[in-house]
Each structure stands twice: as C-alpha cells, then as structure tokens.
C-alpha cells in the first residue's frame, strides 16, 4: 500500500556531487589519458560517495572491472578507445 507520507531524511549532496564529478572526470580523463586511467578516476571518485572507502578493495575492483570493460567494449564490440593516452 502506497501512502502519501513524506520521506524522512536529508539529501545526500556529497554523494550526489561525487558521482557527478566521477562521471565528468571520466569524460575529461578519457580524452586526455585513455580508457584505463579514465576508469580508474571513475571508480575511485565514485567509491568515495559511499559510506566506506577501502583503498585496497577499490583498487581490486578497478582492475577487475577495467579488464571486464576492456573485454566488452574494446575487444567484444570493437570500440576504438585508446587504452592509454588520448587520440
């Protein structure tokens, strides 16, 4: 049953800002430094938006997900993204 109750709590402006910054940072980093550094920026800034930040876990996630993204987007689909270094 849906009720017309107001949501309690406050907006999480810091996480919202960090997620937006991570996405914008990915775009700028992709142009200048390539796919893998851009994914590093995306994952590190995005993980700062959470309640916990463990650098070791974030680095492992970055490596695993970067390999997965390479396998899907560059190897699988054939998108012409440079891995390191833009253009």
Is residue 7 very low, low, confident or very high in pLDDT (cuts 50, 70, 90)?
A: confident
Instruction: Give the mean pLDDT of 48-73.
Output: 94
Residue 25 pLDDT > 90: yes
Q: Kindly tell me if the per-residue pLDDT of 87 is higher than 80.
A: no
Instruction: Kindly tell me if the per-residue pLDDT of 68 is higher than 70.
Output: yes
Question: Residue 49 has what DSSP assignment?
Answer: T
Q: Is the pLDDT of residue 1 over 70?
A: no
Tokens matching residue 37: 């550094």
pTM attached to this predicted model:
0.81
Judge whether residue 17 has pLDDT over 90: yes
Where b means 16+ CB within 10 Å and e means fewer, 43-62 reads bbbbbebeeeeeeeebeeeb
Instruction: For CA atoms 66, 36, 52, 19, give the dihedral sign.
Output: negative
Per-residue CA distances from 78 to 63, 75, 81, 82 (Å): 20, 5, 9, 11
């Amino acid at each position: 049953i849906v009720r017309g109750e107001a949501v309690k709590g406050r907006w999480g402006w810091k996480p919202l800002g960090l997620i937006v910054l991570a996405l914008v940072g990915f775009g700028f980093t992709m142009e200048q430094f390539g796919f893998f550094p851009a994914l590093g920026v995306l994952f590190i800034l995005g993980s700062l938006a959470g309640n916990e930040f463990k650098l070791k876990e974030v680095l492992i996630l970055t490596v695993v997900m970067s390999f997965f993204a390479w396998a899907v987007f560059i190897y699988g689909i054939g998108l012409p993204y440079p891995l390191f270094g833009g253009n």
